[in-house]
Structure 1
Amino acid sequence: MAQVESFQLDHTKVIAPYVRIAGTERNGKGGIVQKYDLRLLQPNADAVPTAALHTLEHLLATYLRDELPGIIDISPMGCRTGFYLIIWDEHSPADVAAALTKVLHKVLETETVPAVSPLECGNYKDHSLFGAKEYAKLVLESGISDDPFVRK
């Protein structure tokens, strides 16, 4: 049976919010892709409601691309405690944490959520900008660590 990296992580020992490298893949031509765990909430203690998570997904997908070159994808975790970031090349956890912090500050200033029409979004009615701002504020108040086992 295949080993899934996130299933190997001891979710009882990590301290959210944090950014961590969840994987690095290299191909034979020198290409590098990294997967990051952007954990906003403590696993098994809290979860972002779907409407707020969906709005955060739209905002992170837009704003993080302005901060970090080479983003392939930003996807919410099924447990609703954070996001996975897939990105070309190598980036340090500190750089990704700094970009996420900057973006969450932008979320607090946002007045309009991008891509919330039936043409652009598969569940355009399920959004909460208020909820996204509340969770962004909560994460910023806690501080984002670049080490999942150390509180910021």
Structure 2
Amino acid sequence: MSKKMNVESFNLDHTKVKAPYVRLVGITTGHNGDEIHKYDIRFKQPNKEHMVMDGLHSLEHLMAENIRNHMSNVIDIGPMGCQTGFYLSVINHDNYDEILTVLEATLNDVLKADEVPACNEVQCGWAANHSLEGAKEIATDMLAKRDEWKDVFGEDQ
């Protein structure tokens, strides 16, 4: 990489990270002093694996709905186009360990779910593309490596 890009993740060497992990991407301060903390929640190893779209789509619905039951500061949680993770943005909350706890609770909610919220043509733009089982598989894989979430670059870096 020669020139610094405007998008933070474009400046990240994706060959050096070790998924899964949860990484603080940056903090943006608003005109009134509010702080937005943005996190990279990486489920899959970049350029080696990815989430299958119907499972990812259902996971998006489940996490977007359930994370707000654990934290009121959530602005948004949404998938990365590369299908390897999600971005989480929260306002006025800078406790990284609590973010990990909230994510763990949210993924456990996914495992307990018996349906995907808003999985219909009225509330979703691609309602036919969902898999509750796929979402649960992704959540199970991420939770199985809970002790690795803080280690962005792996032990050998």
**Is the 2:44–2:85 Cα contact (8 Å) retained in structure 1?**
yes
Paired with 1:94 and 1:75, the residues of 2 have a C-alpha distance of: 20
Paired with 1:83 and 1:7, the residues of 2 have a C-alpha distance of: 15
Q: Which residue of 1 aligns with 2:149?
A: 145
TM-score by length of 2: 0.90
**Is the 2:73–2:93 Cα contact (8 Å) retained in structure 1?**
no
Matching of residue 109 in structure 1 with residue 104 in structure 2: no
Q: Which residue of 1 aligns with 2:58?
A: 55
**Paired amino acid for 2:17:** V
Matching of residue 95 in structure 1 with residue 101 in structure 2: no
5+ unaligned residues in a row in structure 1: which ranges?
none
Matching of residue 4 in structure 1 with residue 7 in structure 2: yes
Q: After TM superposition, give the deviation of residue 147 of structure 1 in Å.
A: 3.5
Q: After TM superposition, give the deviation of residue 16 of structure 1 in Å.
A: 1.1
Q: After TM superposition, give the deviation of residue 36 of structure 1 in Å.
A: 0.8
1:120 corresponds to which of 102, 119, 123: 123
Identity of matched residues, %: 42
Paired with 2:69 and 2:94, the residues of 1 have a C-alpha distance of: 15
Q: Which residue of 2 aligns with 1:26?
A: 29
SS state at 1:35 partner: strand
**Is the 2:5–2:11 Cα contact (8 Å) retained in structure 1?**
no
SS state at 1:85 partner: strand
